[in-house]
Structure 1
Amino acid sequence: MTADRWVCLDIGETLIDETRVWSTWATVLGVTPLVLMATMGVEIAAGRSYDTALTRIDPSWHDRLEEKDAAYGGFRAEDLYPDALPALAAYRDAGLGVAVIGNQPPSRTAELRAIGVAPDVMAMSDELGVSKPDPAFFAAALEAMGGVPADRVTYVGDRVDNDVVAASAAGLRTVHLRRGPWGLLGPQADGRADGVVDGLLEVLDHL
């Protein structure tokens, strides 16, 4: 697609509500969802990775990844935030190119398309061979969008570290989406984003 401006969206806690991800992890690790999510809240508020929350509960959690993935089973329609599909349609109606590119395994592409997410460009970090916050991730994302100049793209995500700071450093415009544990409890944009929103439809006001 040829578009003058693009919106590029993160996936987890941007399009997809990850409540079921973490509830699945809680079951696999043998704790209640409340215990896991409270532990995650402490770590996220301190600016640390979710890995540290899982490690607090079970230091060998890495050995349970396949079990968790099998129990989770992939994205479902009910995992989409209510504004996800309406926002994608609104962006397209506004003449914007729409991309969905985030830190996810390759299987997510088919899963997202199966539940109605149909952007102009979609790519996962494992397909690109690089993940956020590496600057090479954003270079690969721009290439996937046809080599569009960085300043014509607005990256939208819930994490200030991975989405706002990293994308800004790569020359993209940014919008911080304040929802989910990272968006609400993690470090805030504090003037580092071109816009701050509470929902995806508000992004249009910051382009």
Structure 2
Amino acid sequence: MVRRRLLAVIRAVVFDVGECLVDETREYGTWADWLSVPRHTFAATFGAVIARGLDYRETFQVFRPGFDLGEERERRAAAGQPGWFGEDDLYPDVRSSLKQLRADGLWVGIAGNQTVRAGGILRGLDLPADMIATSDDWGVSKPEPASVSTTSA
């Protein structure tokens, strides 16, 4: 009964990509390897950066000040080590959950602070979703300065 009432009110759901649908452990491990940093050190620093509310890209600055993520992505790709994820990186219940939500009549979206390349990979996985988009697809990045507001007490 409660489920039916909720479905009558909720018409759409949108899921984030990283650590919601995709386990990014392997991908960030490859970044640690690229930077010649122990994986556990990179992961701990990444967690500390996120816990402080900073942009995840600040993690790279800790290990290499002046680090340009876009440039390094290109270097990795040129070295035959492009960033990627696949079916095995999806959490086990992703497909069944998305499929069930659509079967329940909900509009399902997937959106994340990801690259155009990641968006292509997501679309290539043929996930049961009505929309898949990334911040890069839209030409924005989290957090956008315009989206941050400050108030004084």
Q: Specify the code of the residue in structure 1 equivalent to 2:122.
A: L
User: Is residue 2:94 matched to residue 1:84?
Assistant: yes
Question: What is the CA distance between 1:133 and its match in structure 2?
Answer: 4.6
The alignment's TM-score, normalised by the length of structure 1, stands at 0.57
Q: CA RMSD in A?
A: 2.6
Larger Cα-atom Rg = 2
Structure 2 CA distance, aligned partners of 1:46 and 1:73? 25
Change (3 A) 1:61 1:124: same
**What residue number does 1:178 align with?**
none
Equivalent of residue 31 in structure 2, options 16, 25, 35: 25
Total equivalences in the alignment: 135
Q: Specify the code of the residue in structure 2 equivalent to 1:47.
A: G
The alignment's TM-score, normalised by the length of structure 2, stands at 0.75
Q: Specify the code of the residue in structure 2 equivalent to 1:24.
A: T
CA contact (8 A) 1:28 1:64 kept: no
User: Is residue 2:100 matched to residue 1:94?
Assistant: no
Identity of aligned residues (%): 38
Equivalent of residue 22 in structure 2, options 6, 16, 22: 16
CA contact (8 A) 1:102 1:124 kept: yes
Structure 2: gaps of 5 or more residues = 1-9, 149-153
**What residue number does 1:125 align with?**
135
What are the Cα deviations for residues 111-156 of structure 1, in whole angstroms up to 9, with x where unaligned? 123334131112222222233455x99xxxxxxxxxxxxxxxxxxx
Higher relative contact order (CA 8 A, sep 6+): 2
**What residue number does 1:71 align with?**
81
Change (3 A) 1:131 1:117: same
Structure 1: gaps of 5 or more residues = 138-160, 162-207
Question: What is the CA distance between 1:47 and its match in structure 2?
Answer: 2.3
SS in 1 for 2:99: helix
